[in-house]
Amino acid sequence: MTQDNRRVLQNDRFLKVLRGEAVDRTPVWLMRQAGRYLPEYREVRAQAGNFMNLCMNPELACEVTMQPLRRYGFDAAILFSDILTIPDAMGLELRFAAGEGPVFDRPVQDAAAIKALKVPDVHSDLGYVIAAVEHIRAALGDSLPLIGFSGSPWTLAAYMVEGQGSKDFAKPRAMLHEDPTSGQMLIDKLTESVSEYLKAQIRAGADAAMIFDTWGGLLTSEQYLKYSLGSMQKIVDALKADPDTADTPVILFSKGCARHINAMADTGCAGLGLDWTVELGDIARQVGNRVALQGNLDPAILNAAPEVVRAEVQRIFASRPNDCRHIFNLGHGITPGVTPEAVGAAVEAVHEFGTYS
């Protein structure tokens, strides 16, 4: 165990729930809690020039990580970065085109391109992310836990083969059917990359690691278990096998995959993210107290009036069993158009209704 793994924090509700310990109140943080809905974020992004410059500047990445913590009573910070840093470091040349989302100038189009891909060197190719983690850790001091993160191998592969965002990621799905050997090779290279990336974030000061598998729900069940959950299992195992990271909790978030909840809960992860389409109480009864559950307010509700947000937060709490290990969050990220007031209403409602007696 390293010094960092023994870090004593003033507010450790989030980590306690992941460890299965009792807390006074349900911890809360929100996916995309730093971002465009905050005017102070837009100001710093303008100063940086664009989103990737912001990610690559450790001081500015630290500043935007801290911004939502100054406004709201969140129980965790999340590293400000993106999941697509790994493919960029593999040479695919990521850019965010205005109004278009992410684009790779050099997508992976055939088996030869997959063979040629190199696992990035975390410290030389992704050193800016590790530096951001160090800055954020120093800025947080012992106040709050810091969540590090990565995309899942399948979700990263989906963007790398498609070359951009997509509703159905038909190209990478066709590739898994047509050339499973190359598909597995791509997933394997990403599995090694993600494992090393998360270990480096933890060594630099992250207290937990979350894996975003945004597109797991697009796969057939067999493919999900083989390529997506299978690779996340290897990452969980790799972190557990390293004394520096063995005690760091891992949260898996496979959107649209609740039908696989038992298999996910058996990976040895500490927590599972839930999207908003499932009932927290139903899932809690299926997993028992094997893992913590993180979610699952519908992000669309943040466009509704504050009293509507408050009532839905209350309903989610009423639906969960008493012994539910719960971290309050959204079922997916905050969308850009919401107001800072709507986010405040959600957090306040968690503080109001999320106490354990």
The span from the CA of 276 to the CA of 149, in Å, is 21
Q: Is 310 in the site for ligand CP3 (CB under 6 A)?
A: no
Length of the chain, please?
357
Which residue from 35, 145, 153, 331 is in contact with ligand CP3, where contact means CB under 6 A? 35
Q: Is 101 in the site for ligand CP3 (CB under 6 A)?
A: yes
Q: N- to C-terminal Cα distance for the chain?
A: 34
**Interface with ligand CP3 by CB under 6 A: which range of 9-17, 94-102, 169-177, 275-283?**
94-102
The span from the CA of 343 to the CA of 259, in Å, is 29
Q: Which is catalytic among the residues 12, 13, 32, 41?
A: 32
Q: Which is catalytic among the residues 37, 41, 72, 159?
A: 159
Rounded to 10 deg, the angle between the 58-71 and 39-48 helix axes is 170
Q: 148 exposed, middle or buried (CB, 10 Å; 0-12, 13-18, 19+)?
A: buried
Which secondary structure element, helix H or strand E, spans residue 6, and what is its range? none
Q: Is 45 in the site for ligand CP3 (CB under 6 A)?
A: yes
Q: Write down the least CB distance from residue 69 to ligand CP3, Å.
A: 11
x/- string (CB under 6 A) for ligand CP3, residues 119-158?
A: ------------------------------x---------
Q: Which residues contact 340 (CB under 8 A, 6 or more apart)?
A: 37, 38, 39, 71
Residue 240 is encoded by which pair of tokens?
A: 């557990």
Residue matched to tokens 């460890």: 19
**Cβ closer to ligand CP3: 20 or 165?**
165
Which residues are paired to 95 by β-bridges?
A: 103
**Cβ closer to ligand CP3: 100 or 142?**
100
Closest residue (Cβ) to ligand CP3?
214
**Cβ closer to ligand CP3: 284 or 330?**
330
Which residue from 14, 74, 80, 276 is in contact with ligand CP3, where contact means CB under 6 A? 80
x/- string (CB under 6 A) for ligand CP3, residues 317-356?
A: ----------------x-----------------------
Q: What is the DSSP string of 163-218?
A: SB--SS-HHHHHHHHH-HHHHHHHHHHHHHHHHHHHHHHHHTT-SEEEEEETTGGG
Residue matched to tokens 């028992």: 288
Which residue from 12, 75, 82, 162 is in contact with ligand CP3, where contact means CB under 6 A? 82
Q: Which is catalytic among the residues 4, 7, 25, 45?
A: 45
**Cβ closer to ligand CP3: 13 or 32?**
32
36 classed as catalytic: yes
32 classed as catalytic: yes
Q: What is the DSSP string of 171-184?
A: HHHHHHHH-HHHHH
x/- string (CB under 6 A) for ligand CP3, residues 102-121?
A: x-------------------
159 classed as catalytic: yes
**Interface with ligand CP3 by CB under 6 A: which range of 6-14, 16-24, 26-34, 108-116?**
26-34
Q: What are residue 253's phi and psi, to 5 degrees?
A: -130, 95
The span from the CA of 187 to the CA of 210, in Å, is 18
Which residues are paired to 151 by β-bridges?
A: 212
- Contacting positions for ligand CP3 (CB under 6 A): 31-36, 45, 51, 78, 80, 82-84, 96, 101-102, 149, 165, 212, 214, 333
- Residues identified as active-site: 32, 36, 45, 82, 159
